[in-house]
Amino acid sequence: MHSLHSSQSLWLIPVLPLLGFLINGLLGKRLGKGAVSLVAVGTVAASFAWVLKCISALMPLEHSHIETYGTWIASGALNIPVELAIDRLTAVMLLVVTGIGSLIHIYATGYMSHEEGYERFFAYLNLFMFFMLTLVLANNYLLLFVGWEGVGLCSYLLIGFYYLKLSATNAGNKAFIVNRIGDFGFSLAMFLIFVHFGSLSFPAVFEKAKALSPESGFGWLTAICLLLLVGATGKSAQVPLYVWLPDAMEGPTPVSALIHAATMVTAGVYMVARSAALFVNAPIAMEVVAYVGLITAVLAATIGITQFDIKKVFAYSTVSQLGYMFLALGCGAFSAGIFHVVTHAFFKALLFLGAGSVIHALEGEQDIRHMGGLRSKIPVTFLTLACAWVAIAGVPPFSGFHSKDEILLAAHHHHPWMYWVGVITAGMTAFYVSRCMFMTFFGEYRGHHHPHESPWVMTGPLAVLAVLSLAGGYTHIPQFLEPVFPLKGGEHDSTLVAISVAAGLAGIALAWFLYVLSPETPKSIASALGGLYRAVYNKYYVDEVYYGTIVHPLVDGSKSILWKGLDAGIVDGAVNGAGTLARMIGGITRRFQTGNIRSYAAWVVLGSLLVLAAMTAMGGSSL
């Protein structure tokens, strides 16, 4: 159903950051860093303010408020308007994207202050916000896909921001290419949606989907949902398309925070949640979503235990937490999944920005083996990061505890064994984040720099995010989203909650023992595990397998077959052969062009004699 409220000019929400992109992209070099900062931060903050204004005007938002700005595509049965819509799910996502995005923009003005390409960086960052807001506000799959492709483009531009650095350009290419695989699945899903529903508009598609009965086997609705899942595995870094996200750390740290907390990776979760009306009637697809999420959560958590790059540790924690979100979606607990999107945005933005503050303090050092004892040297960074630490570890009553246990209860209600796997993963999460914190902030300083606290423009956003990380669990997101989603998670069970909390506390305690009380023990354990440790440390050699089975065969095949065989051998051979033949004929005929009149006269006489001989022969034969 549609809201009856008057127009709220929803178009302003994405257009304000777009305006910032245009101003800084076209005029940034002339404006100077101060004006660039003002434009970049101001347009995103204005978008956040407009979101607050729209939500307050439209509350209680029992139904979707839709605004149409004209027809985009009209061809036969296909009619796609430019339509933006806001309901409670959209409202939650808009607040996360613009609110967390504003804090990251403010932080970035300090973090990037001495970097080349300052105006280019903020132009890209504003463009990222525009596309993500377009994605969230879209009222049909095609417009959502525009935003979907746009955030993919911006991730490529920002991950590869340091374009003179080969590892950064490779990481940008990897993110772009891997996401194209997922996007191909999404595009096929849109074709099937139009074929079977006759529309790409959310209200029309979902209304017809609700009238369907759940598929008992593998049907066209299951095919649609699985193809949508393929798209989501790319954007939200799920198995098997998660490999781009850890490498995305090559971009500046504010980019890492924006991708991991407010944009990009949340897009896949949002899209699946938005398509809940389709997924609830495709039980097989729902089961696949749950399995993919659980496998991703466990796989990434094990890898995170062995990493030493502070940003890589937090990157694998993102992959693992996204797996948790997909587990919730697959279990039908859509509101729990979105709840974790929100709390995760708080503590993951804080983790990355806090990591950036540590890196800033150590003049670029990212290896936690070269840190230690920093809690007394950069106390504000430590205290704020500690808030994210207890939140992601699931320590009650902080934000991660509330959303994580909503997911685990839903998993227990769906399949009890999934709950136990989720609990073990929660324990591993608490362990590897605690390991990172203890190695960074406790013990003796092992580095070579002189640590210094970050400026207020960086620590200010950290403080705000710290408060949100501690108190964000009391936002009652599941209750707020109740009008949107038909399914709920499992009933509250104090015993199950206590077990998951105990697993988190056990992870923290184990990390304290291994990295504070007995710091030599981890080396002995790693040595004893031998090949298993090396496999986990090398990320199960997944990248190597992909390169060996897909990348290298494609590159080698392109060189030997497409280039040397088809292009050089056939196409170039035909062209070069024609040229050689023409040159040969020209070489022969050139011999007749001597410039000697006697020679020409001789040739004329010879030619005449040949003609007469031929005529005589023909005449003789006719006689």
pLDDT in tens, 12-41: 999 999 999 999 999 999 999 999 999 999
pLDDT band at 585 (very low <50, low <70, confident <90, very high): confident
For residues 374 and 440, give the distance between their C-alpha atoms in angstroms, rounded to a whole number: 6
Reduced to 3 states (helix: H, G, I; strand: E, B; else coil), residue 200 is coil
Query: What pLDDT, on the 0 to 100 scale, is given for residue 575?
Result: 83
As a whole number, mean pLDDT of residues 577-598 equals 75
Query: What pLDDT, on the 0 to 100 scale, is given for residue 58?
Result: 94
Residue with the larger pLDDT of the pair 289 and 552:
289
For residues 339 and 418, give the distance between their C-alpha atoms in angstroms, rounded to a whole number: 19
Query: What pLDDT, on the 0 to 100 scale, is given for residue 113?
Result: 92
Q: What angle do CA 30, 33, 153 make, to 5 degrees?
A: 85
Looking at residue 541, what DSSP letter applies? G
Structure tokens at 514: 């291994």
Query: pLDDT tens digit string along 403-436?
Result: 999 999 999 999 999 999 999 999 999 999 999 9
Q: Tell me the C-alpha to C-alpha distance, in Å, between residue 392 and each of 312, 385, 577.
A: 16, 11, 67
Query: What pLDDT, on the 0 to 100 scale, is given for residue 584?
Result: 83
- Average pLDDT of the residues of the chain: 92
- Three-state secondary structure readout of 467-532: HHHHHHHHHCHHHHCCCCCCCCCCCCCHHHHHHHHHHHHHHHHHHHHHHHHCCCHHHHHHHHHCHH
For residues 592 and 614, give the distance between their C-alpha atoms in angstroms, rounded to a whole number: 22
As a whole number, mean pLDDT of residues 374-385 equals 96
As a whole number, mean pLDDT of residues 444-457 equals 90
Please say if the pLDDT value at position 322 is more than 70. yes
Query: pLDDT tens digit string along 148-184?
Result: 999 999 999 999 999 999 999 999 999 999 999 999 9
Share of the chain above pLDDT 70, in %: 96
Which residues are within 8 A (CB) of 240 and not within 5 positions of it... i.e. 6 or more apart? 233
Residue 364 φ/ψ region, left for φ over 0, alpha for ψ in the -120 to 50 degree band, beta for the rest: left
Which residues are within 8 A (CB) of 331 and not within 5 positions of it... i.e. 6 or more apart? 286, 290, 407, 410, 411, 413, 414, 418, 489
What is the number of alpha carbons within 13 Å of residue 180 lying toward its C-beta?
7
232: nearest Cα among 329, 124, 359: 329
For residues 40 and 21, give the distance between their C-alpha atoms in angstroms, rounded to a whole number: 8
- Most confident region among 118-127, 444-453, 593-602 by mean pLDDT: 118-127
pLDDT band at 623 (very low <50, low <70, confident <90, very high): very low
Query: What pLDDT, on the 0 to 100 scale, is given for residue 490?
Result: 52
pLDDT band at 4 (very low <50, low <70, confident <90, very high): low
- Model confidence, pTM: 0.90
- Three-state secondary structure readout of 240-291: CCCCHHHHHHHCCHHHHHHHHHHCCHHHHHHHHHHCHHHHCCCHHHHHHHHH
pLDDT band at 1 (very low <50, low <70, confident <90, very high): very low
Calculated CA dihedral for residues 217, 218, 220, 226, nearest 10 degrees = 130
In this structure, are strands 78-86 and 65-75 parallel, antiparallel, or unpaired? antiparallel
Residue with the larger pLDDT of the pair 3 and 544:
544
Query: pLDDT tens digit string along 51-89?
Result: 999 999 999 998 999 999 999 999 888 889 999 999 999
Q: Tell me the C-alpha to C-alpha distance, in Å, between residue 476 and each of 48, 346, 379, 406, 479.
A: 20, 15, 32, 11, 6
